[in-house]
Structure 1
Amino acid sequence: MRDILRLSVPMTVWLMSFSAVYGLQGLVCSERLSYEGAAARPMLIVAAIIAVFTHTVLLWGLYSKRWGSPHPFIRSVSTILGVVALISTIWTLFPVAFMSICM
């Protein structure tokens, strides 16, 4: 059961971080909240940095001897999925820092 979690957690955490950051961007840009001020971009960048940090810690945990799988195949696949999730997080949250917040 733990091996199934080791295989499914990296992409699930990516999905949660993607949804959280772009949900926050939706709240910043909504007409009801109207929070498009000077603190909107730093708030989104901090959320993206927290997501990247979370994925880095997750990748370290999946690769470590203590929390990683004792089976070499599961360890390598979960590490590859962790790297893919980290790259996906950086790639999908990159526009938050460099594009306009609300279009």
Structure 2
Amino acid sequence: MIDVLRILAAPLLWLAAFSAIYGLQGLGCAQGWDATADGPPPLRVLLIGGWGLTILLQAALLWSLRTDRFGASAPFVRRVSVLGGWTGLVASLWSLLPVATTTLCAAEIV
């Protein structure tokens, strides 16, 4: 059962981070966090921080899947879990990139 967790850990981490970051963006836009100077940190800072944390977590997970302590003993499971780790890292870099490069909240259409 632990081998299934090793294989699915990186994609599940990506799924959780994707949902959390884009949910935070929607909440921040709905609450007007991008336009206010007081209150929480600027929305862009929160989102880029979440993106950076996701990248760090994915890289740490990938590194740990390659070690003898946390990696699988079966060669096939080790290869698949490391490939899943790379997939999670690339997916996090690519799918969360718009957080750092695009406008946050669309203007209201009246």
Q: TM-score range by the shorter chain?
A: over 0.9
SS at match of 1:90: helix
SS at match of 2:103: coil
Alignment of 1:12 with 2:15, yes or no, is no
Deviation, 1:34, is: 1.5
Distance in 1 separating the partners of 2:71 and 2:43: 37
Deviation, 1:97, is: 0.5
Deviation, 1:76, is: 0.5
Which structure 2 segments of 5+ residues have no match?
none
Alignment of 1:53 with 2:56, yes or no, is yes
Question: Aligned-pair RMSD on alpha carbons?
Answer: 1.0
The equivalent of 2:76 in structure 1 is: 73
SS at match of 2:69: coil
Which structure 1 segments of 5+ residues have no match?
none
SS at match of 1:11: helix
Deviation, 1:8, is: 1.2
Deviation, 1:61, is: 0.9
The structure with more radius of gyration: 2
Deviation, 1:10, is: 1.1
Deviation, 1:28, is: 0.8
SS at match of 1:100: coil
SS at match of 2:96: helix
Percent identity, aligned pairs only?
A: 39
Distance in 2 separating the partners of 1:5 and 1:45: 28
Alignment of 1:36 with 2:39, yes or no, is no
Alignment of 1:86 with 2:89, yes or no, is yes
Deviation, 1:36, is: 1.1
Distance in 2 separating the partners of 1:34 and 1:42: 14
Deviation, 1:41, is: 0.7
Deviation, 1:91, is: 0.1
